[in-house]
Amino acid sequence: MAMTIKQMRDQIRSVIDIDSTDVSDAVLDVMLGQGFDTIVFSEKRWPFFETTTTFTTTSGEKDYTFAYIGADIIQGTGLREVAAIRTNDHVLTYIGRDTAEFSHPLDVSSSGEPWEYSIWNDTVRFYPTPDSSTLTVTVRAIRNPTAFGVGTDDNTEPDLPDAFHPILATYGLAKAYLQQEDPLMASQYMQQFQIELDNVARRYADTPAPQPMVANSRTNTRYLAGYGALRYASTGGIVW
C-alpha cells in the first residue's frame, strides 16, 4: 500500500493515540528519515535503484566522476555504484586500481578507444585514455535514492516500492514509542519492523532461477564475474 509521509505520521499518531503536541511533524520526519536510510542501506544493490545512463567522453580526459556520469539521473540523485560499462561495440573490463597502475604506468601515455576501467574515490578511469570527444559510453549502475524525511512535502511518497511504505511506518512507530518513553512497545515494533523488512527484502534481493550463483569460479571482468549479469548483492556476483 502506497503511503505519503503525512499518512505515515497520521498512522503513527493514531496507533499510539497521540497528537502533534506530543510529537511534532518535524520530529516524526526525522524518525521516518532514519527509517528510510535504514531500509536503503540494508541492501547494497536494491534492484529498484538500478539505472542506465550514457555520457560522452572528452578527448584526452581519462577520469570521470560519478557526479559527472550520473548528471542526468532522475532528480539529480546521482550514482551510488557502477555495475558495468560498455561502448557501442564492446564491454569494458574492470580492473583494480593497483593492477591498473602496474599495467598502465603514469609515465607512459597511451590513447585510443578504452577497453578497461578502474574505480577509485567514486571516479572512473579509462585505459587507454579516450582520444575522442564523440565516444558514447553506456553505464549500468545503482543510483542514489531521493532523500526522504526532513523537508519532505506532505504528499510525497518515499523512493521505495509500495511494499516498503508500511514497513517504514512501523519503524516510525517504534521510534515514536521510544520518544514517548515506552521501551517495551518500542522494542516490539522494532522487532516487527525487522521481520517485515526481511520478508519483503527476500522478494527483491533474491537471485531468480535464470540467474544462479556460481561459486569457486575465476574471471577477469566484473561483467563475467556477475557484477554485470547478477544484480543481487545478497546472493549474486560473488567470486569465491
At 121, list the grid cell.
Answer: 574515490
pLDDT of res. 232: 46
DSSP string, 91-126: BPEE--HHHHHHHS-TTS--BSS--EEEEETTEEEE
Which contiguous run of DSSP H or E holds residue 65? strand 63-65
pLDDT of res. 230: 46
> pLDDT, tens digit, for every residue of 115-151?
999 999 999 999 999 999 999 999 999 999 999 999 9
* Regions of the chain where pLDDT drops below 50: 223, 225-240
Cα 187 to Cα 44: distance, rounded to the nearest angstrom: 26
pLDDT of res. 77: 80
CA dihedral 204→205→211→213, nearest 10 degrees, is -170
Cα 116 to Cα 83: distance, rounded to the nearest angstrom: 14
pLDDT of res. 240: 43
For residue 197, report the phi and psi dihedrals to the nearest 5 degrees. Answer: -65, -45
Residue with cell 567470486: 239
At 207, list the grid cell.
Answer: 537471485
Cα 9 to Cα 84: distance, rounded to the nearest angstrom: 40
At 162, list the grid cell.
Answer: 509500495
Judging by DSSP bridges, how do beta strands 50-56 and 136-143 pair with one another?
antiparallel
pLDDT of res. 207: 63
